[in-house]
Structure 1
Amino acid sequence: MTIMTRDGVRISYDDFGGTGPLAVLVMGTGSPGRVWHTHQVPALRAAGFRVVTVDNRGAGASDECAAGFTIDDMVGDVAGLVAHLDAGPAAVVGTSLGARIVVELALARPDLVTRAVALAAHARLDPVQRAFTAGEIALADEKIVLPLGYHASVAATQYLSPATLRDDQAAQDWLDLLSFAGSGVGPGQRAQLAVSVALTDRTAAYRDIAVPLLVVAFADDATIPPRLSREVADAVPGARYVEIPDAGHYGYLERPDEVNRVLVDFIAPRTRGSFPGAP
């Protein structure tokens, strides 16, 4: 773990080294960069990349910034990290809120981005997603902590595919993992949730993105439904769209081999357009 300071805010990152092209991985709400370490980091290192994972402000070992921040602050942190590493431009990969960050980065700083991959991409939230996020903020503000078992079961239903939950052992393993993570929402995560609630519809703005973009949707994603990801792919000129079957919002953990294959093929392909769904 290494610390970069930007405008007085400490941003933590892990640099796995190497002399290849830079790839920066950006997580979603409340999650530290180490979530990438089990599956995506080894795949990208094997493909020859220098891989760096980042803890967004509000998560992991980065500063909580409990007073709040904006999507522009989070985009600026990733831009600052690429500049700090002095190894860019970089391929950038993000999921959920991290997807929003990398797409906005591709729009604002195309000089820093070679290719962008957005898992569970979205240019807007629909009323259900907005209400769910606002509800999580309300629970945090009321200091309501859900019983661990109930929290885990709700999270499993929200973030995992029914295909995963049909396997009793896999379902139990996930329940154990989600229970271990706890049900409380800390100040940093609450600030990240507020960023999502404040997001405006950026569909029109994304028509100006010139960086090559791969949008990856998860067919059973109840948090960011595939139709929202498809909207991003349709808005960005030349963007590619792939939908991973039997995968929920945590599809990069549920179906890592499929996700890694399309990810590596796009940012370090031997043959362009070899994955299913590519034009």
Structure 2
Amino acid sequence: MMIQGTGAGRTVWQLHQVPALTAAGFRVITFDNRGIPPTSECPGGFSLQDMVGDVVGLIEHLGTGPCRVVGTSLGAFVAQELALSRPDLVCRAVLMATRGRTDVLRAALNRAETELYDAGTHLPARYAAVVRALKSLSPRTLDDDAAMADWLDLFELSSAAGPGQRAQTELSKLDHRLQAYRDIRVPCQVIAFADDLITPAHLAREVADAIPGAAYELIEGCGHYGYLEDPGTVNKVMVGFLTGAAAR
């Protein structure tokens, strides 16, 4: 079961992660989180626990539990809360680009992004694409002209934000959950990206330290979208853990 981050749809997993997991023998389930069309955008807002409930409902409907769960960013927040509240549905969890609290800078970023949306300000698509690249990619990728041409085109085409994305952004104001995560008993693999500005590696390290027995992997040369920047390394760690080949 794969859970995407803020503003992203299930198809993002299809390029690199789904083929790697399928090749490893897994049946892979992806879905669009609430807030992402064609699901309801829920303009009135929703909670992190609502998103956890969505995953619970999907697992129970499909009869796939306990299953392996992979989440990135907001999807990782959902996955770790799912592992805490419904360990009967999760046998292993991979938490990419995650954190267990909101620091001053991340709180300011969240507030700025929601205020920008609420003000009705529409940034030019090209400008929004450049800002997204600077926030989400590593210097290694930013300095690669050929790669950046493709990334900027992609970001420009997907720059529109609606009420559902605004509602998801609001959930980035994560409560301090590190103490609660000490009660997680599901085997977990935390994957952090060394150049991640959105969920810095030191905050992901805190999650790994809080969850008993959790494994931690820091991947160099990657920003927030590390699973797309260096899918080979990410997939190796992910598949190794999910198959039990990696040491806990």
Same fold by TM-score greater than 0.5: yes
Unmatched 5+ stretches in structure 2: none
Q: Partners in 1 of 2:246 and 2:75 — Cα distance?
A: 25
Q: Is the 8 Å Cα contact of residues 219 and 244 (structure 1) preserved in structure 2?
A: yes
Q: Deviations over 1:3-35 (max 9, x none)?
A: xxxxxxxxxxxxxxxxxxxxx000000111111
Q: Deviations over 1:215-241 (max 9, x none)?
A: 000010011000000000000100000
Structure 1 residue ranges (4+ consecutive) displaced by more than 4 angstroms after TM superposition: none
**Structure 1 segment 230-249 matched on structure 2, within 5 A:** 230-249=205-224
Q: Deviations over 1:35-85 (max 9, x none)?
A: 101110011111111100011110132111111110000001011111111
* Structure-2 residue corresponding to 1:145: 122
Residue 246 (structure 2) pairs with residue 272 (structure 1)? yes
Unmatched 5+ stretches in structure 1: 1-23, 274-278
**Structure 1 residue identity aligned to 2:156:** S
More strand by share: 1
* Structure-2 residue corresponding to 1:14: none
Partner of 1:248, secondary structure, is coil
Q: Partners in 2 of 1:130 and 1:60 — Cα distance?
A: 26
**Structure 1 residue identity aligned to 2:233:** E
TM-score between both structures, scaled by the size of structure 2: 0.98
Q: Partners in 1 of 2:166 and 2:39 — Cα distance?
A: 14
**Structure 1 residue identity aligned to 2:236:** R
For the aligned residue pairs, the C-alpha RMSD in angstroms reads: 1.0
* Structure-2 residue corresponding to 1:228: 203
Q: Deviations over 1:177-217 (max 9, x none)?
A: 111112x32010111111222x2100000000000000000
**Structure 1 segment 166-205 matched on structure 2, within 5 A:** 166-182=143-159, 184-197=160-173, 199-205=174-180
Q: Partners in 1 of 2:169 and 2:246 — Cα distance?
A: 36
Q: Partners in 2 of 1:35 and 1:130 — Cα distance?
A: 26
**Structure 1 segment 45-60 matched on structure 2, within 5 A:** 45-60=22-37
Q: CA deviation at 1:272?
A: 3.1
TM-score between both structures, scaled by the size of structure 1: 0.87
Q: Partners in 2 of 1:161 and 1:225 — Cα distance?
A: 12
* Structure-2 residue corresponding to 1:38: 15
Partner of 2:223, secondary structure, is coil
Q: Partners in 1 of 2:192 and 2:167 — Cα distance?
A: 25
- Bigger shift: residues 143-152 or 103-112: 143-152
Q: Partners in 2 of 1:114 and 1:102 — Cα distance?
A: 12
Q: CA deviation at 1:129?
A: 1.0
Q: Deviations over 1:84-114 (max 9, x none)?
A: 1112211000000000000000000000000
Partner of 1:144, secondary structure, is coil
Residue 115 (structure 2) pairs with residue 134 (structure 1)? no
**Structure 1 residue identity aligned to 2:163:** P
Partner of 1:208, secondary structure, is coil
* Structure-1 residue corresponding to 2:2: 25
**Structure 2 residue identity aligned to 1:231:** E
Q: Deviations over 1:155-190 (max 9, x none)?
A: 1110000011111111111111111112x3201011
* Structure-2 residue corresponding to 1:251: 226
**Structure 2 residue identity aligned to 1:268:** T
Q: Deviations over 1:240-274 (max 9, x none)?
A: 000111000000100001000000000013x332x
Query: Identity across aligned pairs (percent)?
Result: 54
